[in-house]
Amino acid sequence: MTVGAIFPPEWRTDRDSQTGRAVTQLTNSPAEDYHPYFYNPAVTWDGRYLLFFSERTGLSNLFRLDLRSGEIVQLTDVRPARAEYWPFTAAVRGAGACLAAIGSGGREAFYFEGVELWGVEIETLRARRLLTLPLERRPSILHADADGKTLVFATWDESLFMERSQRAYAGEQFPDDRFFQETTSTIIRLDAATGYAEEILRQDRFWINHVLVNPHDRDLVLFCHEYSVMPDRMWLLNAATGEFAPLPGQGEGEWYQHEFWSVDGQRVCFHGGRSGDEAHGFCGWCSLDGAEYHKFDHVTPDRAYAHYNLHPDGTTMVTDGEAQPGCISKVRLHRGRQEFAVLCRHASYRFGDDQRCHPHPSFTPDGSRVIFTSNKTGTSNVYLTDWE
């Protein structure tokens, strides 16, 4: 199949077995279909197209799905380049798994094909190459600001990750956290219009991941110290001054995950828990100086881990766990507690499973619907349900 190949609608709507809510399965191929990582919008800003990865061609490619008609169109026809997001996915070839982002005012999708960064216009399918990284660097997830003008991403040591990933895929035991701290990490910032790229941070023996540019200030960049045993998961870089440091207030005996910006760029949102305690968890946000934290607690035996996302209203969250594992739930934050209302079952994934089947709930631009992925049919597919 080539760019522009058209697939007829695959969607079907059923009633959720637990809540009776209408849930639409948008894709139905025998391969892995999944939407971009959850802090990146999966739907174009006009609400028309869903962007998703699919391996239905034998390689990982990007597709668009028209949310009015259900028609699916292939956006890319990539080479069989290494595309896995190791250690979070299985071996994949094609477009970089989980790494895509929408930018350029919502008109263009950006993705990696090996070490090459490409953009493709979602409507016209015109493609352009913006950047070629040195072969010794491995790129991570892309992220764009609110206007889609600035892109950021991390890079890691290719030889280190390639050698260890090949051993892992061959069945060798998963390496401990110390291995990942052997890499040199960089943060790259790029102008989406011109392709001008600059390295704004380099750290030796430090694994940087989840790089996110502030929605309204391209000089403020949030990133995480991945797989760190220290209370310093969330870091903030001021690219204008070169200053960077962990956000204060990340307590001893706590862990944090899946940090992201609030829509207004004034808060860093997160979820987390207590070290060694699989029942107690929290979600919430903090100020950029770390002086003020708002945490909302929950108790769910054996299930402190999940993915949270903030509704455009700025006060309500969605999660793929917690209330009842295996569910997409609305989370009302009230008096320091999380109050859950199950929207539907996703019946997908366990901790440590391949990222491609993680639900990773996200919202359509107007907040009226929730997009998520599930592998309950045997392979991953993308689903949609109403928020209200």
Long-range contacts of 180-183 (CB under 8 A, 24+ apart): 180/207, 180/226, 180/227, 181/205, 181/206, 181/207, 181/227, 181/228, 182/157, 183/156, 183/157, 183/207
Kindly state the greatest CA–CA separation across the chain: 53
**Contact yes or no for 223/154 (Cβ under 8 A):** yes
pLDDT tens for the chain, 388 residues: list them: 799 999 999 999 999 999 999 999 999 999 999 999 999 999 999 999 999 999 999 999 999 999 999 999 999 999 999 999 999 999 999 999 999 999 999 999 999 999 999 999 999 999 999 999 999 999 999 999 999 999 999 999 999 999 999 998 998 888 888 999 999 999 999 999 999 999 999 999 999 999 999 999 999 999 999 998 777 899 999 999 999 999 999 988 899 999 999 999 999 999 999 888 888 889 999 999 999 999 999 887 766 678 999 999 999 999 997 656 789 999 999 999 999 999 999 988 766 688 899 999 999 999 999 999 999 999 999 999 999 8
> CA–CA separation, 353 vs 309, rounded Å?
20
Phi-psi bin for 348: left (phi > 0), alpha (psi -120 to 50), beta? beta
User: Which pTM was predicted?
Assistant: 0.95
> CA–CA separation, 228 vs 340, rounded Å?
30
User: Which residue is associated with the tokens 């107007």?
Assistant: 366
The architecture in CATH of the region 6-386 reads: 7 Propeller (2.130)
**Nearest-CA neighbor of 362 among 384, 388, 338?**
384
The residue ranges of every structural domain in the chain are 6-386
State whether residue 75 is helix, strand or coil.
Answer: coil
Half-sphere exposure of 179 (CA within 13 A, CB side): 12
> CA–CA separation, 250 vs 267, rounded Å?
15
